[in-house]
Structure 1
């Protein structure tokens, strides 16, 4: 099957909220009109309601109740509010459908995004960009679930049960994997080439023609998400984590492990967006 064929089987391509597209354009723009952006966020009632609820939750609350997006920006800072809007906007782009555990999927996505953001903070690379790329990293899996046939999905599941990874099973059955599909979705959403390559190269970032740091952060974050969810010991993590990738990203294992509790607390707070 060709990826174009998969997309042609969609009844309708999921659309990303306009405010999210505009926020992405503010990355690395020191002259961004923060007040203007906040006003645009406020025009989306669904995202605004979710963000305000989250800003006033136990994890983010700083005392007096926040009642507007502009207040939220003042209280938490533009970068934090932008992160919350990204998480809300991207997750709301996909509707409920049968045989899909939304909470499990987005919970996993938020954890990977939070880890990627933390990893980037430990380097000189933009944390918001790492977070957003990681929020997009497994959307290809959703496209496959929505657009593909039940027979193919059953074949993929059977191969996973036999010991293959999800991406290996998809490659065997479809001829491509969720990273390729996610990259195609990013293209159709008119994201920059940098975002597209971050998603496309996430499974083997060191093998890409040009190294993309966000792809590396996604790969490393996915590993630690899996390790922590499986409650691996520190010894198991040391044995299995990608040391060459950590060196390329200029990451230190001890710094990653020390940030674990803060990372999981933030991702847990983000999961409140699903309620």
Structure 2
């Protein structure tokens, strides 16, 4: 298996729902009308129900009930609605993925997205971009398991998907890793360049000729989400903290480690727990 053949095997290439593709096209557009998005969502009963359920969830803590798609969009905001629609399209595309425990996978993705958005708010990265990148950064793993289940099962028996060394392991075994596939899928689906370019740099945000702050934020967020889900001991977290990436962003380790800010780095408050940040958003993954 190589990346080229994996992406050229047309019978196994995933496709996403048309409504998700059309909403994706609105990324980067600040003047898209609420009515346009509402019309797209209302044509999909399942998506409409999911939107209303999320709008009425504890995440938004409303004192009233939201009963229409149009009202839900106004309550949630266009950014959140676009993320819900695109996520729903991706989740549906990979609803049956051989060998993958999908709930832990999507929980890691959601935790990464929430951590990335929080970090974005404390840096110069657009929050919607960071959240979407975090949520979708692992889709290559799903495609690899769908297109080559036997080969991936052999890898999984040697090293779990969420292991810290998984990227390097896949690179050594296959010549590419799941983040390479994620970026290739983003291009296949005609994601906006604002998503495709940082997606390709998440694995090594310091390696490219042009530094992507969004890629660096998601790199840190994915690291933190994995440690949270694996309940990594504090000594391991401190030993493997991505200091160089955080330093390039100009932020201290205070958001995750009880350390004083190094000279020249922005002091960071502790990040709330990922369970708290993601509370109420798990409905996006149903």
Query: By how many angstroms is 1:176 displaced?
Result: 1.2
**Equivalent residue pairs, number:** 272
Report the secondary structure of 2:281's partner residue.
Answer: helix
Residue aligning to 1:63? 63
Shift of 1:112: 0.8
The answer to whether the 8 A contact 1:3-1:181 is kept is: yes
How far apart, in 2, do the equivalents of 1:269 and 1:184 lie? 31
Structure 1 residue 4, shift from structure 2 partner: 2.4
Specify the alignment match of 1:216 in structure 2. Answer: 216
Distance 2:120 2:46 in 1: 29
Q: Report the counterpart of residue 26 of structure 1 in structure 2.
A: 26
Unaligned ranges ≥5, structure 2:
257-268
**1:156 to 2:155 alignment:** yes
User: In the TM superposition, what are the counterparts of 1:38-117 in structure 2 within 5 Å?
Assistant: 38-117=38-117
Higher helix share: 1
CA distance in structure 2 between the partners assigned to 1:70 and 1:26 by the alignment: 17
Paired with 1:10 and 1:32, the residues of 2 have a C-alpha distance of 33
Per the TM alignment, residue 189 of structure 1 is displaced from its structure 2 partner at its CA by 0.4
Match of residue 128 from structure 2: 128
The equivalent of 2:240 in structure 1 is: 240
Q: Give 2:270's aligned residue.
A: 258
SS of 1:92's equivalent in the other structure is helix
**Structure 1 partner of 2:4:** 4
Shift of 1:179: 1.1
- Hey, what does 2:284 align to over in structure 1? 273
Asked whether the 8 Å contact 1:186–1:196 carries over to 2, the reply is yes
Query: Residue in 1 aligned with 2:35?
Result: 35
Tell me by how many angstroms 1:178 deviates: 0.6
Secondary structure of the equivalent of 1:176? coil
RMSD of aligned alpha carbons:
2.5
Partner residue, 2:264: none
Contact 1:117 1:128 in 2 (8 A): yes
Q: State the TM-score, normalized to the length of structure 2.
A: 0.84
- Which is further off, 227-236 or 167-176? 227-236
Partner of 1:167: 167
Distance 1:270 1:8 in 2: 34
Q: Does the 8 A contact of 2:12 with 2:147 survive in 1?
A: no
Q: Any stretches of 5+ residues in structure 1 without a counterpart? A: none
Q: In 2, distance between residues paired with 1:218 and 1:41?
A: 28
Q: Normalization by structure 1: what TM-score? A: 0.87
The Cα shift of 1:215 comes to 1.3
